[in-house]
Amino acid sequence: MIGPTNTAEATAAHEGSHVADREELVSVLTPAMSTDDWLNSKENITQYATEFRAYMVGAAVAQGRRESTYNADGYEYWNSGWKEAERDIRVRAGISTLLEKKYHVASDKPGPRIIEKKK
Ligand SMILES: [Zn+2]
């Protein structure tokens, strides 16, 4: 999911990234695998991982469109004024903050995986 502050193109790119993550997972699952194999597959990534990727795609779209700034719910993850040398680190820092505030996930509390065992 993404906030209402971005363009339709960024939203489509963001959601497309999630679709790609799910397709990648599905592509490696086979009927011969056990449920635990499915759950433990490295393609069964966390909410943190899939959202991080999706916002990185969004930042790339922003850069490609030469947008001055992008944010979700006020958390900026792209600004064309960021110097090229520090751009990647600032994009990643912005996304980390946004994921923490908006989704309550972080590298040390990455949230649910794409598929989870029912509790
Ligand atoms: Zn999302």
d(CA 82, CA 45): 30
Distance CA 65, CA 10 (A): 10
Q: Where are the domains of the chain?
A: 8-103
Which residues are close to ligand 1, an ion, with C-beta < 5 A? Answer: 1, 51, 54
Please tell me the distance between residue 16's alpha carbon and the centre of ligand 1 in angstroms.
9
Tokens of 84: 């090229």
For residue 13, report the distance from its CA to the centre of ligand 1, in Å. 10
Mean pLDDT over residues 73-83, rounded? Answer: 95
4: pLDDT strictly greater than 50? no
CA of 32 from ligand 1 middle (Å) equals 31
Residue 77: Cβ within 10 Å count:
24
Å from CA of 17 to ligand 1 middle = 8
Sorting pLDDT into bands at 50, 70 and 90, what band is 93? very high
Going by pLDDT thresholds of 50, 70 and 90, the confidence category of residue 2 is low
Q: What is the pLDDT of residue 15?
A: 95
